[in-house]
Amino acid sequence: MIEFQLDRGSGVATYLQLVHQVKQALRLGTLRPGDQLPTAREVVESLAINPNTVLKAYRELEREGLVAGRPGLGTFVEQGIAGPTLADHHRLRRGLEEWVRQARAAGLDEEDLRALFGAVLAGSAREGVA
Amino acid sequence: MNALEVTGLAVRRRRSWVLRDCSLAVPAGRVAALVGPNGAGKTTLMHAAVGLLAPARGGVTVRGQAAFVAQDKPLYETFTVAETLRFGRRTNDRWDEEAARRRLDRLGIPLGGRVGRLSGGQRAQVALTLALARLPDLLVLDEPLANLDPVARHDVMRSIMAEVAERGLTVLLSSHVVSDLEDTCDWLIVLNGGRLQVSGDIEDLLGGHSVLTGPAGASAAGCDVVGESRTGRQVSLLVRGGPPPDPRWNARRPGLDELVMGYLRSPASAALPAPAEVAG
């Protein structure tokens, strides 16, 4: 089960934050096909947000084919995002952790790390490597 | 389908008008925020909505039953919570005792406790429980969060939202603090000096306005300006619709507080649906 968090100062629309968090959980494999999303009531009871916001987020996820509503039962995950690459996550994460260790040892702070990672990501997308 | 419709409402107190020519509609299942400065007529509009006063002109239609919680949350201090429930049961035809007890139990409010001994947050919850026990279709709350600490505000809002999710109830609530309304309300009503300035879906309103910032000389020609503020050489405008052709403007979507403040500072501006939409 996923537990939503809100970043009220982020400027990102609340329903999008919920959408992103579900996708993030699907990528990391913490949500898998068949898992149930919390009901609108459960979400609003923990976050104090309008129920229509939760329904909007779920509709968006449904539109993308990631979840499906089953009348009277709730909303369930239809398909993961990670798919076959999930098995590689562990290995890639270890590599990234090693890279972060080296960068820190070289004196880079967190902002430097983000900037560097973002630049490499953007560069590889341009070259079509990603 | 509208849960609340107000048409041409006017209310007079002694020799002055407290509300003038107010027409609005709140669709069913919405959480509507009623905002405006002190003396804008918010409480009067709420009283008219629940039939606590007779308007001089115009009318109010509520689909189903309305329940009202006043700002001072009037409860008998010497009653226990159980006695307060009993009083509610005797004075109301529609009454869900079971749900009220379950609700208080879930909130950890003891039935044997005296109302006068409860915390501000607990009193607010008891008042809310009494209103919900009457199984309203429209719940009208006058400043439900006033005088509550941040934790109690969050708790009260959470439980209002949960009722909306569970029962599809429509809520009209007033508040001074726009940040309390940001994620909870989806409909906005701005009242200023007894006149209605804004009534509409919050997403549509935010999407339909822009905040422009630019140098003092930039031209706002071709733009529907709600209000403006100047700091030194920079001008900031709230406009309806997109940015004007002058490329020196930097445009972005307003926050709810910016939209509300923009209108309140320019009482002559209004963003209201055409009369036909309200009537429909």
Helix (H) or strand (E) holding A116: helix A110-127
Domain-embedded: residue A28: yes
> Which stretches does DSSP call E strand in chain B?
2-13, 16-27, 31-35, 57-62, 66-69, 138-141, 170-174, 187-192, 195-201, 209-215, 224-231, 234-240, 250-252
Contact B69, B144 (CB under 8 A): yes
Clarify whether residues A102 and A73 are in a common domain: no
* B161 in contact with A, Cβ within 8 Å: yes
Question: Domain check: are A56 and A113 in the same one?
Answer: no
Dihedral class, residue A11 (left if φ above 0, else alpha if ψ from -120 to 50, else beta): left
Domain holding A96, by residue range, is 84-127
List of chain B residues whose C-beta atoms are within 8 Å of the C-beta of residue A49: 161, 183-184
Partner A contacted by B186 (CB < 8 A): yes
Inform me whether the C-beta atom of residue A8 falls under 8 Å from chain B C-beta atoms: yes
Chain A residues with CB-CB distance to B30 below 8 A? 52
- Report yes or no: A49 and B184 within 8 Å, Cβ to Cβ: yes
Q: Please report the number of interchain residue pairs, chain A to chain B, with beta-carbon separation below 8 angstroms.
A: 47
Beta bridge partners of A67: A77
pLDDT at residue B272 in the model: 83
CB contact A46 to B (< 8 Å): yes
Is A89 found in the same domain as A70? no
Largest CA distance in chain A: 56
Task: Please indicate, yes or no, whether residues A76 and A40 belong to a single structural domain of this protein.
Answer: yes
Higher pLDDT, A91 or B90: B90
Nearest CA-CA partner of A23 in A68, A97, A82:
A82
- Confidence (pLDDT) at A67: 95
Q: Which residues does chain B have within 8 Å of residue A40's beta carbon, measured at their own beta carbons?
A: 165
Burial class (CB in 10 A: 0-12, 13-18, 19+), A83: exposed
For chain B, what is the mean pLDDT? 91
pLDDT for A87: 66
pLDDT < 50: residue spans in chain A: 130
Helix, strand, or coil here: A130?
coil
Q: Looking at A44, A62, A81, which one is the last position of a domain?
A: A81
Residue A118 and residue A76 share a domain: no
Specify if A3 maps to a domain. Answer: no
Residues A34 and A65 in one domain: yes
Predicted pLDDT at A130: 44
Residues forming a β-bridge with B212: B237, B251
CA distance B56 to A89: 70
Residue B221: helix, strand or coil by DSSP?
coil
B172-201 pLDDT per residue, tens: 999 988 888 989 999 999 999 999 999 999
Indicate the domain borders of chain B.
2-202, 206-267
Same domain, A48 and A100: no
Beta bridge partners of B198: B190, B271
Q: CATH number of the domain that A45 lies in?
A: 1.10.10.10
Interface test with A, best of B161, B169, B184, B211 (most A CBs within 10 A): B161
Q: Is A50 at the interface with chain B, CB within 8 A?
A: yes
With respect to residue A110, please indicate whether it lies within any of the assigned structural domains. Answer: yes
Whether A5 is covered by a domain: the verdict is no
DSSP B271: B
One domain for residues A74 and A112: no
Cβ contact B183–A53 (<8 Å): yes
pLDDT of residue A84: 55
User: Same structural domain for residues A72 and A30?
Assistant: yes
Of B29, B30, B157, the CB nearest to A48: B157
- What local confidence, expressed as pLDDT, does residue B279 receive? 47
What is the rounded CA–CA span in Å between residue B152 and residue B144?
11
Residues A74 and A93 placed together within one structural domain of the fold: no
**In this structure, what are the phi and psi dihedrals at residue B23, rounded to the nearest 5 degrees?**
-130, 125
Mean pLDDT within B134-153: 92
CATH topology of domain B2-202: Rossmann fold (3.40.50)
Please report the pLDDT score of residue A82 as a whole number.
61
> Token pair of B274, please?
């055409």
- The reply to whether A68 and A112 lie within a common domain is no
Instruction: Answer whether B162 touches A (CB < 8 Å).
Output: yes
Reported ipTM? 0.79
> Does A45 reach chain B within 8 Å, measured CB to CB?
yes
Cross-strand pairs, B31: B171
Q: Quote the number of domains for chain A.
A: 2
Burial of residue B263 (CB within 10 Å: 0-12, 13-18, 19+) is buried
